[in-house]
Structure 1
Amino acid sequence: MKPYPLQFQPEFKERVWGGRNLERFGYTMPEGKIGEAWTIGDHANGTTKVMNGELAGTGLDEVRERYGKEFFGKKGFSERTGRFPLLIKLLDCEDDLSVQVHPTDEYERLPAGELGKTEMWYVLDAKPGAKIIYGLKAGETRESVTAAIEEGRIMDTLHEVPVAAGDTFYIPAGTVHALCSGVLVAEIQQNSDTTYRLYDYNRPGLDGKPRELHVEDSLNVIAYDNAGAARMTTDLPEAHTWLNIAHSPYFVVEKGKVDGTWPLSSPGDSFAIHIICDGAGTLRWEDGELQAKPGDCFLIPASLGDYAFSGQLTMLRSLVP
């Protein structure tokens, strides 16, 4: 079968902090507080299925098993884990998320078969006054954070920053963080669903019961001297050039602007994932085309070859380094 760009039916996740803002992307969502749309996923907790072309109805896990390196490239196909390396999400934060931290791959208490979690956020939209929690304040230690938890003043140890559309945040494993209300983000991360909650505002979950905290694990994995977190604004001075907005051992994320037609080519040794942030246009390749609008995510096989985006739009591109 000839490779072609893949689109997937999102897996929707109800969250106590979610809302209905993901409907702006034209999604047909289930009832409830939908906090997450897993737009490209190959995980035990959510596997997306192809919506278009010959592989329609096929799960990403089946695509991986059948086409492996041909579609994903030698960098994008993990011999060690046998899993797709990334998980792509859109998050709607109607309320504050829990204060949390993720482990590295080396943490000895990881669930069996699970990975650590390094991620990045690109802010698609933010209400006036929106903020996030991004790391600890300078000088905080395990001892000072432990004391703050015991005394009920954990928020005093956290660094809050304002956010606006176009901001990006790199969040390596070990970084304490939380999205706050009024923020809509695209998240590119390791293929992991491991989160340790440090604090959750003493609120009940969707079932009315207190949500589980993971204080000991959180204290164990926090990088008290900074794990390398970095933030930036992402203004683009010109079209048809890539701005690197995140670089980790697990993913590279770039931002670009289409104004007219932008010819591109698949990397060969990695797949490419394009997330449309705003605008509208068309994705074309030798054998077909797809319309592109905000919220769309396209997986470009490593072996596709030439393709192009046309129109007026802004997008992210994610690769495996």
Structure 2
Amino acid sequence: MKAIRFDALLKTTIWGGEEVTELKHLSQAPLQVGESWEISGLPGDETLVSDGEFKGQTLSQLIATHGASLVGKHNYERYGTNFPLLVKFMSTAKDLSIQVHPDDAMAQRMGHPFGKSEMQYILHAQPESRFYAGFNADFSADGYSQSVQDGSLMAHLKCHATHAGDCFLIPAGHIHCIGSGNFLIEIQQSSNDTFRAYDFDRRDAQGQRRELHIAQAREALDFHAYPTHRVHYDHKPDTASLLVDIPEFVVRLYEIEHTLNVDYATTDSFIIYIAYEGDALLHYDEGDVHLSAGHTILFPASTTFVRIEPGAHGFKALETYC
């Protein structure tokens, strides 16, 4: 199978910024694009193949036809036609809500296949930008309920200053809030289940306060304090730098100025590249494909190698697979 491109889904949000449309050079995009869903298999929000012989098809249709050759033998046995990941660019002109996501068990009680563990890689951050992740001391369900009532929840969260190159891992059940002024890539399990614990009493375009999910968040929350949600990684130019390796997904960073050969002969999974700076010509089993900043591509599990030839200004991208 050839590599596959998808038409991204632009999501307008109350907190959205401008970086997504600037990176993608979109002159006719709506205002306040908070998210660009690059690859999604979520029912009702599936990205469509943008060109080639599979143009217009969804991921579930592709998996139903091509099975393990597309997603990998283990992924096909484990997930069937449910694509396990959702990949996004995100731009935050304002703080997101304080929120938490369910784990697999809670999601399945809700009738959904996946919980929502996720990671964020910061592409750019304003000088005062922050990321709130985890409690700063062990907390409790009753303490949470009281802090929501009296408006003190933010004081119980651990705060991180953000800079380009920062990486955060947010397991399902961990409280967090992406602060304003961050531009990032988010890779997550294929879920849109978000429980807002607090939203700063903001109102939507109709003047209504946005819905909170106090009881669901209380059920989903892990009240333990953890040392950090910031990922400390070994940065290696011109090779793969491992950022995240968890049962749900693996993420590696590429900052390439010279040709690099990547071996996928024993990788039993699809491979996704999310480019955010520069461009490259990617040679693989079926030929070659060009990938530039702001775009994403999926290589099927049948791919055995990719040779990355960066352009004149280098190539920076994240790679993810299961």
TM-score normalised by L of structure 2: 0.92
- Alignment counterpart, residue 257 of structure 2, candidates 253, 256, 259: 259
How big is the shift at 1:192? Answer: 0.6
1:118-167 alpha-carbon deviations (Å, 9 max, x no partner): 00001111111110111111132222222211222222211111010100
Matches within 5 A, 1:1-321: 3-28=1-26, 30-80=29-79, 82-107=81-106, 110-226=109-225, 230-234=229-233, 236-240=235-239, 242-266=240-264, 267-311=266-310, 312-320=314-322
Distance across 1 between alignment mates of 2:156 and 2:72: 43
Distance across 2 between alignment mates of 1:36 and 1:48: 13
Distance across 1 between alignment mates of 2:138 and 2:286: 57
Q: For residues 71 and 190 of structure 1, do their structure 2 counterparts lie closer, same or farther at Cα, with a shift above 3 Å needed?
A: same
Distance across 1 between alignment mates of 2:108 and 2:78: 23
* Matched length: 317
Note the residue ranges of structure 2 that are not aligned, 5 or more in a row. none
Q: For residues 271 and 74 of structure 1, do their structure 2 counterparts lie closer, same or farther at Cα, with a shift above 3 Å needed?
A: same
* Matched letter for residue 271 of structure 1: F
| Larger mean Cα displacement after TM superposition, 84-93 or 72-81 | 72-81
Distance across 2 between alignment mates of 1:276 and 1:111: 34
Q: For residues 109 and 157 of structure 1, do their structure 2 counterparts lie closer, same or farther at Cα, with a shift above 3 Å needed?
A: farther
Distance across 2 between alignment mates of 1:15 and 1:43: 18
Is 1:175–1:229's contact at 8 Å kept on the other side of the alignment?
A: no
* Matched letter for residue 33 of structure 2: I
Is 1:239–1:259's contact at 8 Å kept on the other side of the alignment?
A: yes
* Matched letter for residue 132 of structure 1: F
Distance across 2 between alignment mates of 1:109 and 1:280: 40
Distance across 1 between alignment mates of 2:241 and 2:304: 22
User: What secondary structure, in the 3-state scheme, does the structure 2 residue paired with 1:37 have?
Assistant: strand
Q: For residues 288 and 27 of structure 1, do their structure 2 counterparts lie closer, same or farther at Cα, with a shift above 3 Å needed?
A: farther
Distance across 1 between alignment mates of 2:13 and 2:109: 23
Is 1:72–1:270's contact at 8 Å kept on the other side of the alignment?
A: yes
Is 1:115–1:194's contact at 8 Å kept on the other side of the alignment?
A: no
Is 1:77–1:85's contact at 8 Å kept on the other side of the alignment?
A: no
User: What secondary structure, in the 3-state scheme, does the structure 1 residue paired with 2:230 have?
Assistant: strand
Distance across 2 between alignment mates of 1:276 and 1:72: 21
* Matched letter for residue 200 of structure 2: Y
Q: For residues 201 and 45 of structure 1, do their structure 2 counterparts lie closer, same or farther at Cα, with a shift above 3 Å needed?
A: farther
Distance across 1 between alignment mates of 2:67 and 2:227: 32
How big is the shift at 1:54? Answer: 2.0
Is 2:137–2:225's contact at 8 Å kept on the other side of the alignment?
A: no
Q: For residues 102 and 24 of structure 1, do their structure 2 counterparts lie closer, same or farther at Cα, with a shift above 3 Å needed?
A: same
How big is the shift at 1:308? Answer: 1.2
| Larger mean Cα displacement after TM superposition, 264-273 or 163-172 | 264-273
Distance across 1 between alignment mates of 2:19 and 2:55: 27
Is 2:170–2:229's contact at 8 Å kept on the other side of the alignment?
A: yes
Note the residue ranges of structure 1 that are not aligned, 5 or more in a row. none
Is 1:41–1:87's contact at 8 Å kept on the other side of the alignment?
A: yes
Distance across 1 between alignment mates of 2:229 and 2:180: 21
Distance across 2 between alignment mates of 1:9 and 1:249: 28
Percent identity, aligned pairs only, is 29
Distance across 2 between alignment mates of 1:155 and 1:94: 19
How big is the shift at 1:24? Answer: 2.1
TM-score normalised by L of structure 1: 0.92
How big is the shift at 1:286? Answer: 4.2
Q: For residues 78 and 179 of structure 1, do their structure 2 counterparts lie closer, same or farther at Cα, with a shift above 3 Å needed?
A: farther
Distance across 2 between alignment mates of 1:144 and 1:114: 31
Q: For residues 261 and 13 of structure 1, do their structure 2 counterparts lie closer, same or farther at Cα, with a shift above 3 Å needed?
A: same
